[in-house]
Amino acid sequence: MPEFVAGAWPPAPIRTERLVLREPEARDRPAIIELFTSPEVGTYIGGPRPRDEFERALPDEPERRPGLFVVDLEGAMIGIVTLERRDTEGGHPSHVVGKVELGYLFLPRAWGHGYAAEACTAALDWFAGAQPGEPVVLYTQTANDRSMRLAARLGDGRAHDHPRNEAP
């Protein structure tokens, strides 16, 4: 994860036209379970996690860590956005290691409304103010058309192919 400057984390909730980016709360637990056990969401990230195992492993109080934003629409979690520094563990290629990666997952019912672009733009804008000059990469499978379109929309024509997870 990035080493945020003193006082930069946690930020005050970030408000956009339709969304709020905030720290996770206990009330997000059902949506977090739905997110990580969804077959649709898991398509390009190695598949869904088994629901029973994930529910048992997930604490009642969510993990709060620098770089993790819950995306809230009208008081309900619809996804997450992350900013994390990648290291050599986890199979990341050398061109990503040491860089901050933008990640995002959204519930299928939130797809197709522009929420991911809105939330990612807000997180990137915040990060640019908190860590001026720090580059951010987006690492995805080129088979993931939605993610590739989002990368283009965010201005990252350099989205990196993620060979680790097989495309369907």
Superfamily of domain 14-161: Gcn5-related N-acetyltransferase (GNAT) (3.40.630.30)
Residue of 64 and 30 predicted with greater confidence: 30
User: From CA 34, how far away is CA 2, in angstroms rounded?
Assistant: 27
Cis peptide bond upstream of 10, omega within 30: yes
Alpha helices in 6-114 (DSSP H): 29-37, 51-57
What pLDDT does 164 receive? 40
Kindly report, residue by residue over 70-102, the tens digit of the pLDDT.
999 999 999 999 998 877 666 656 666 678 889
- Domain ranges within the chain, ordered by starting residue: 14-161
